Amino acid sequence: MSHLELMIATVARLLDGVRHVAVGASSPIPAAGAMLLRAKNEQAGRERVRLSILGSETQNFFTNGGVELFDCAAQGRVDAFFLGGGQIDGAANINLVGLGDYPQTDVRWPGSFGSAFMYYLVPRVILFREEHTPRVLVDKVDFVSAPGLSEGIVRPGGPYALLTGKALFAFDKARKRFTLTSVHPGHSADEIRALTGFDYDEPGEATPTPAPTPQELGLLRGRVMDELRESYPQFVERLQADVETD
């Protein structure tokens, strides 16, 4: 089992029970997780998972990119989506704009695009960032591109979990904070605490993140890798190298 395979299998479990997953054009690990769930469901004879990868010709039934995706989300027909950010804080706010005092930011990132729209509407938004450092996971973001919580408005969507390269957190909307769910192999709860810039709840003993099953590894190294190659050829090379050196 490689590090990347662990993260992909974790994504698939976080998506369990959804019917339509939408993934951005630069999200190979979330896309692979959705493909893995789809393959597992088909093997088990369960309901097919619909996957929409923006920019893909074979894994996307939209013909007008983000416009149709936003319309689909507004109609309540997207069950899960992934958001990342240059910064993510303990209230599940994300920053896609830049570092420093806006508008005079010291570092400028691509921008928010439709992140807030999707965050408000999609029921299961999974925050994802492979890097797990205090510069990414901060106490308070410099700019709120999309808020984790909102007061006094109808909001069907919001944060469900945060997955990083070292750990998995669940988000409690009532308590307005994260809880450490599991720690990936090779890491410890003390390490996660030291590398996380925001406060969070922690169980008495950190649970190891479950490894992929033999069935999941077989699907990942076969069908899923083949499906990924069209949209993410460079990531497939990285995944293959990661498996070979494991």
DSSP string, 127-180: EEES--STTTEESS-SS-SB-S--SSS-----EEEEEESSEEEEEETTTTEEEE
Mean pLDDT of the chain: 94
* Rounded Cα–Cα distance for residues 215 and 36 (Å): 10
- Which residue in 207, 183, 216, 242 sits closest to 9, CA to CA? 216
Could you state, in order of their start, the residue ranges of all structural domains in the chain?
3-245
Task: Please report which confidence band the pLDDT of residue 229 belongs to, taking 50, 70 and 90 as the band edges.
Answer: very high
Is the pLDDT reported for residue 226 higher than 90? yes
pLDDT-based confidence at residue 67 (cuts at 50, 70, 90): confident
Output the pLDDT for position 134. Answer: 98
Band (65; pLDDT cuts 50, 70, 90): low
pLDDT over 90, % of the chain: 83
Question: What pLDDT is stored for residue 55 in this prediction?
Answer: 78
Is residue 121 within 8 Å of 74, Cβ to Cβ? Answer: yes
Distance CA 102, CA 104 (A): 5
pLDDT at 96 over 80: yes
Please name the residue that has the structure tokens 């109808």.
Answer: 154
Q: Which amino acid is at 70?
A: F
Query: Mean pLDDT over residues 22-35, rounded?
Result: 93
pLDDT at residue 205 greater than cutoff 90: no
Query: What is the mean predicted confidence (pLDDT) over 74-101?
Result: 96
Residue-level pLDDT at 204: 82
Of 50-59, 62-71, 119-128, the range with the lowest mean pLDDT is 62-71
Per the CATH hierarchy, to which homologous superfamily does domain 3-245 belong?
Answer: Glutaconate Coenzyme A-transferase (3.40.1080.10)
Quickly count: other Cβ atoms within 10 Å of residue 225's Cβ: 18
- CB atoms under 10 Å from CB of 61, counted, come to 10
Q: Quick one: average pLDDT of 178-200? A: 97
> What is the Cα–Cα distance from 63 to 102, expressed in whole angstroms?
35
Which residues are 134's β-sheet partners?
Answer: none
The answer to whether the beta carbons of residues 60 and 78 sit under 8 Å apart is: no
CA distances from 5 to 28, 37, 45, 83, 212 (A): 12, 13, 23, 20, 7
Q: Kindly report, residue by residue over 133-148, the tens digit of the pLDDT.
A: 999 999 999 999 999 9
pLDDT for 112 beyond 80: yes
84 vs 64: which has the higher pLDDT: 84
CA nearest to 170, candidates 158, 159, 184, 183 = 159
